[in-house]
Structure 1
């Protein structure tokens, strides 16, 4: 399935969600994540700070930030820098996403688990991002377990067309499904 077609379809489905449906989905997905060994064993976790159309990460970050070391990406040209998450050290950055302040960059090699946002995933861990390649460039240098999270309708049955630079996730979690990619 073509990425642009997937982006259009998912955007339309997201626009129909109520605030209550969004909150329930985020709660369900992050409850599932908390039960996974990859999460339980990880201490250094790269999250994303959610946009309004993504599963909200705010409650999850608040719940676990005292027990896990969270990091967030910050756009730097065509790449992503990784910085520690502190609720009091955020600013509205590129693409209207809250990003961390400071200069204490973290190497992607030091991250144990990465929660990867995307527009959609297929059952092989392939993903459709927003089209800029930021996450693919960053994920290419990581050995961390990569977990994609989304609404049920963001997990599609058709195979996603991929390019040589695309980096799949290892696990996809939605409200009703957990898909583990076999390597």
Structure 2
């Protein structure tokens, strides 16, 4: 399925969610995530700091911040820097996303688990992002386990058209799906 069509369809569907549905979905998804071996074994985790239309990560980060080392991305030109999460060092950055401040960047190869946002996923681990390629550039070559999280309706059954630079997920988790992608 065409990525622009998917973006339009998912954006329209997200506008129909109320606060209770958003909270319930986030609780279900992150409850599944925290029971995965990848999460239990990882100490250094790259998360995203959710926007209002994304599956909220805020409560999950708060719940685990004293037990795990979380990192957040920060836009730097056409790339993403990775910095340690510290709720006292967040400021509005590019695209009105709360981003970490400071100069203490971390190499992507030091990260063990990456929780990746997207507009949509398919059952083969392909994803549709917002269209700028930030995560594909960041994830290229990373050995970390990549887990995509989202609402049930963000799982596209028809499959997603891919480009050579697209990076697939190892796992996709929604409210009622936990899909482990088998690599060939």
TM-score range, shorter chain: over 0.9
RMSD value over aligned CA atoms? 0.4
Which runs of 5 or more residues in structure 1 are unaligned? none
TM (norm. structure 1) is 0.99
Q: Tell me which residue corresponds to 1:142.
A: 142
Q: Tell me which residue corresponds to 1:170.
A: 170
Q: Tell me which residue corresponds to 1:61.
A: 61
Contact 1:82-1:107 within 8 A present in 2 as well:
yes
**CA distance in structure 1 between the partners assigned to 2:87 and 2:102 by the alignment:** 13
Q: Tell me which residue corresponds to 2:116.
A: 116
Where does 1:85-100 land on structure 2 (aligned, <5 Å)?
Answer: 85-100=85-100
What's the offset of the Cα at 1:141?
2.7
**CA distance in structure 2 between the partners assigned to 1:64 and 1:74 by the alignment:** 21
Per-residue CA deviations over 1:23-55 (Å, capped at 9, x if unaligned) read 000000000000000000000000000000001
Q: Aligned to 2:88, what secondary structure does the other structure show?
A: coil
TM (norm. structure 2) is 0.99
Q: Tell me which residue corresponds to 1:31.
A: 31
Structure 1's consecutive aligned runs of 4 or more residues displaced over 4 angstroms after TM superposition are: none
Query: Are 1:3 and 2:3 an aligned pair?
Result: yes
Q: Aligned to 1:35, what secondary structure does the other structure show?
A: coil
Q: Tell me which residue corresponds to 1:81.
A: 81
